[in-house]
């Protein structure tokens, strides 16, 4: 880890590691808990997990990078998951992505400068009958139109 990197409070993981470190096959659970705690998986946390479970950083990072659920940089207060599945694509997910960009100025994988929004395109949200669809912090918004997207995002921005 570099000298200029922000160091995480590794003690926040103590309970999780005490519970799961000796349990075979628990790496994904540990990574999920770490992401809940920190909001993403900082590099120093990944090295700490490897050390505490008796693994290598390469193995821990290999598992973390394999699954799309894990993030390696902080996300905004509102995490927007925009479905790109077949039904959503056919029903205009590209127009929805354009509306997000026009409203908050970010594209897939980006976070607004104010840290309020992060946009992530996902393969499928499993809500095909509601297509096009997006999920924001676990709440599903379906049958989207560009106008509806702008209304939703503007309201969230006003609420901070």
* 159: its two tokens: 């609420």
83 vs 133: CA distance, rounded Å: 6
pLDDT at 5: 56
Beta strands in 13-128 (DSSP E): 78-83, 117-122
pTM of the model as a whole? 0.73
**pLDDT reported for residue 142:** 97
88 within 8 A of 131, measured Cβ to Cβ: yes
Class of domain 78-159: alpha beta
- CATH fold of 10-66 reads Arc Repressor Mutant, subunit A (1.10.10)
Q: Which helix (H) or strand (E) holds 139?
A: strand 139-141
In angstroms, what CA-CA distances link 103 with 10, 120, 131, 146?
A: 37, 15, 20, 10
Domain range summary for the chain, segments of one domain joined by +: 10-66, 78-159
**pLDDT score, position 84:** 95
Positions of the chain with pLDDT lower than 70, given as ranges: 1-5
pLDDT at 1: 42
Q: Do domains 10-66 and 78-159 have the same CATH topology?
A: no
Q: What's the pLDDT at 69?
A: 84
Half-sphere exposure of 18 (CA within 13 A, CB side): 6
DSSP string, 76-137: -SEEEEEE-SHHHHHTTHHHHHHHHHHHH---TT-B-TTSSEEEEEES--S-GGG-S-EEET
What digits encode the pLDDT tens for the residues 35-73?
A: 999 989 999 999 999 999 999 999 999 999 998 789 998
Q: Are 150 and 104 in contact (CB under 8 A)?
A: no
């Amino acid at each position: 880890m570099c000298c200029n990197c922000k160091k995480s409070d590794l003690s926040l993981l103590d309970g999780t590691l005490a519970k799961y470190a000796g349990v075979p096959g628990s790496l994904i659970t540990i990574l999920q808990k770490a992401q809940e705690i920190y909001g993403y998986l900082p590099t120093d946390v990944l090295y700490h997990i490897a050390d505490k479970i008796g693994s290598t950083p390469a193995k821990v990072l290999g598992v973390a990078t394999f699954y799309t659920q894990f993030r390696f940089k902080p996300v905004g207060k509102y995490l927007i998951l925009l479905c790109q599945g077949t039904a959503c694509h056919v029903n205009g997910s590209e127009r929805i992505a354009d509306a997000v960009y026009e409203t908050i100025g970010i594209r897939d994988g980006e976070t607004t400068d104010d840290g309020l929004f992060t946009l992530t395109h996902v393969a499928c949200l499993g809500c095909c009958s509601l297509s096009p669809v997006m999920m924001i912090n676990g709440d599903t918004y379906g049958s989207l139109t560009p106008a509806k997207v702008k209304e939703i995002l503007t309201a969230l921005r006003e609420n901070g």
